[in-house]
Structure 1
Amino acid sequence: MSTDPTTARYSVEGLTALSESLLHEAGIEKAHARAMTARMIDGDLLGHRTHGLAFLPTYLDRIEGGHIGSGGELETLHDDGATAAWRANRLPGAWVMGEATDLLLDRITDRAVATVTVADCSHIGCLQSYLLPFTERGLLVTLTATNPGVASVAAPGGTRGVITSNPIAMGIPTRADPILIDQCTSVGSNALFEGYAVRGERLPGKWLVGADGIPTDDPTVLRADPPGTIQSLGQTDFGYKGFGFGLMSEALSIALPGYGRRSRPDRFGQGVFLQVLDPGRFAGSDTFLDEIDHLVGSVRDDPGAAGATIRLPGERALAARRQQIRDGVVIGAEVLARLTPRANRSSTPLPTPL
């Protein structure tokens, strides 16, 4: 059991029942509710708390506002076997990503590269959560997604947001645990800074820039009028590097799907780029794994600086996932407090702490 009075551990089954019930009560089809719930809980399992069940109240608000739909079908804009382009028309992002995953796992069996782009789906959640089905098959996967209705990151030296936090994820198979990269091209996600603002806390560093162009640790500048912006990775000295990766994400997940900023969309849709490569159709799977395992071994062999811990991307997340599947998922008290009124209105029982 958790010793932190602000958290408790819950079974995956109990949390799943709560989330699926609330989503279905709000009007989401059962298959869509299952997909959304699985991705949120996996976000918590991997330690991405901002995109775990903490996001469920936001999803419920968006459903009530008509920003997440559960009816209709995916619209195919293009499909030549190796590539498919879809328009999702605000269907639940987690369900759409499940369909894209199934499609790519099927199509990669007889080709080297397979790609899906998605225009205008709803929020897909934690990117890292989508990587394991591919790495478990020995496949290399790249995923990036962004929201063309949000502009919270300025160009280096700028004061007006032109892109947003633009996460990029990659799953790299090894002969042991995969390498799971999932990081924003800015210092942090919009949800991260909103969390600090809601809690009334200052940031650990001057990760934002006020509308006056001065770096600050005050998260409320993003809510100001005019708003501040999030610094790109590298911040003041080297932010042009992070901003460059942010532009790459825009090209892949906005321009390729054809769902971009020109039409000034609202803040509730996303564009997605998902691509899978089969190393067996390049220099060969064994050669690929030999090289990756050698690289991993070089990281492991480093004695490290005094007091430092050397980890590969995804290592801590996978350890947290295994531990929480065994011992229960850690959920903050404030998350259930936000869900309690909705559960009471629909007579949905809250899960019991372990």
Structure 2
Amino acid sequence: MRYPHADLTEFTTALLRHVGADAAQAAAMTERLLDADLLGHRTHGLWFLSNYLERISGGHIRTSGEIEVVHREPGAAAWRAHRLPGAWVLGEATALLLDDVRERATSTITIADCSHIGCLQSYLPPFTERGLLVQLTATNPGVASVAAPGGTNPVITTNPIAMGIPTRGAALLIDQCTSVGSNALFDDYAARGERLPGEWLLDAAGVPTDDPAVLTGEPKGTIQSLGQAEFGYKGFGFGLMSEALSLALTGYGRRSRPNRFGQGVFLQVIDPAKFAGSTEFLDEVDHLVSTVRADPGRDGRPPRLPGERALASRADQLRDGVELHPDALTRLAPWARRAGVPLPRG
């Protein structure tokens, strides 16, 4: 079933305003949640809205207060967000960097104690559309679900990393966890009582399993890093890179044992024009893209570039209506009743 994008926007905004988000916060959160669905990241779309409503109602996402500027100099900023809505905070950070990079080659911001920001891929286009290279990492120091290679104790979490690479055509939009999947993905499987497509997890003894229940059992299991048993040290290495950028640079890490409702964020933008030049940059990237596209692929199916399917999904759903996670409106029905807001009709 598909739903008009405008109807979902009105519905989502109304629920967020009902629990106390102001107009700007509700607009930013709505845009990012729906963008996740448009890009095909269903567990970070309207399915996740009920989590935000619970967190705002419980005081875990704050809707009042100001961003604290910890440090500011040309090309660098450090903020502490004090659990203000992550989508709104990232919108403010994006505006700052876009203004900053007009005068310099690169600009970077770190954000401590930011509430959940959602789908990283959604934040990339405002930069790539301007010909800028962007990288974004975020992680949660209050959650540990991934063990070191050969270990059984969770020490980091799924640590997504994202990069937007401009081309003369559609941008390359990379967004992936450094583990086999996100925490939300495994929560979704567990809620449905389904086994995983593969042995993506480890039980408490370190044995591979396809049972998502091991993540909530006692003792808890863990999520495998990218590369799994044989090459998981590679994914774990990228996970440590994310920890250094998102937590160590922000000064908001695991030492203080924070709860699960705050994140550390690293966002950096680079202007290719101020290095070898935009033309050289785009010539190189476009050559690489054309080389990939020239490959006929296995069984006549050409290789897919990062973000290609997501952008096609967005265009399709904006035209024909948005597809939601099967459980999204079921999870939101109680909130809609409390707010007196009718559920969207497909």
**TM-score scaled by structure 2?**
0.99
Report the equivalent of 1:113: 106
Report the equivalent of 2:280: 287
Rounded Cα–Cα distance in structure 2 between residues aligned with 1:30 and 1:307 = 49
Rounded Cα–Cα distance in structure 2 between residues aligned with 1:198 and 1:65 = 22
Rounded Cα–Cα distance in structure 1 between residues aligned with 2:302 and 2:337 = 45
SS in 2 for 1:332: coil
1:229 aligns with 2:213: no
Paired residue type of 1:20: T
Structure 1: any 5+ residue segments left out of the alignment?
A: 1-7
Rounded Cα–Cα distance in structure 2 between residues aligned with 1:308 and 1:161 = 39
Paired residue type of 1:160: N
Report the equivalent of 1:76: 69
SS in 2 for 1:306: helix
Report the equivalent of 2:18: 25
Is the 2:293–2:302 Cα contact (8 Å) retained in structure 1?
no
SS in 1 for 2:173: strand
Paired residue type of 1:65: G
Give CA-to-partner distance per residue, 1:289-330, whole Å, 9 cap, x none: 000000001100111122544100000000000010111101
Report the equivalent of 2:160: 167
Report the equivalent of 1:300: 293
1:258 aligns with 2:251: yes
Report the equivalent of 1:181: 174
Report the equivalent of 2:304: 311
SS in 2 for 1:250: helix
C-alpha displacement of 1:333: 4.1
Rounded Cα–Cα distance in structure 2 between residues aligned with 1:332 and 1:246 = 28
1:150 aligns with 2:127: no
Report the equivalent of 1:342: 335
Report the equivalent of 2:121: 128
Rounded Cα–Cα distance in structure 1 between residues aligned with 2:262 and 2:300 = 43
C-alpha displacement of 1:349: 2.0
C-alpha displacement of 1:65: 1.5
C-alpha displacement of 1:261: 0.2
Rounded Cα–Cα distance in structure 1 between residues aligned with 2:338 and 2:238 = 45
1:210 aligns with 2:213: no
Rounded Cα–Cα distance in structure 2 between residues aligned with 1:228 and 1:65 = 28
Paired residue type of 1:186: S
C-alpha displacement of 1:34: 0.7
Paired residue type of 1:340: A
User: Which of these residues, 48, 51, 57, is aligned with residue 44 of structure 2?
Assistant: 51
Rounded Cα–Cα distance in structure 2 between residues aligned with 1:309 and 1:34 = 38
C-alpha displacement of 1:334: 2.0
Paired residue type of 1:105: L
Rounded Cα–Cα distance in structure 2 between residues aligned with 1:341 and 1:164 = 30
Rounded Cα–Cα distance in structure 1 between residues aligned with 2:302 and 2:139 = 31
Report the equivalent of 2:57: 64
User: Which of these residues, 238, 250, 253, is aligned with residue 245 of structure 1?
Assistant: 238
Rounded Cα–Cα distance in structure 2 between residues aligned with 1:221 and 1:303 = 41
- Regions of 4+ moved over 3 Å: none
Rounded Cα–Cα distance in structure 2 between residues aligned with 1:125 and 1:346 = 24
Report the equivalent of 2:133: 140
Give CA-to-partner distance per residue, 1:99-139, whole Å, 9 cap, x none: 00000000100100000100001000000000000000000
Report the equivalent of 2:86: 93
C-alpha displacement of 1:176: 0.1
C-alpha displacement of 1:346: 1.5
Rounded Cα–Cα distance in structure 2 between residues aligned with 1:270 and 1:125 = 11
Structure 2: any 5+ residue segments left out of the alignment?
A: none
Q: Sequence identity, in percent? A: 68
Report the equivalent of 1:4: none
Rounded Cα–Cα distance in structure 2 between residues aligned with 1:312 and 1:231 = 24
Report the equivalent of 2:260: 267
Rounded Cα–Cα distance in structure 2 between residues aligned with 1:47 and 1:121 = 24
Rounded Cα–Cα distance in structure 2 between residues aligned with 1:58 and 1:207 = 25
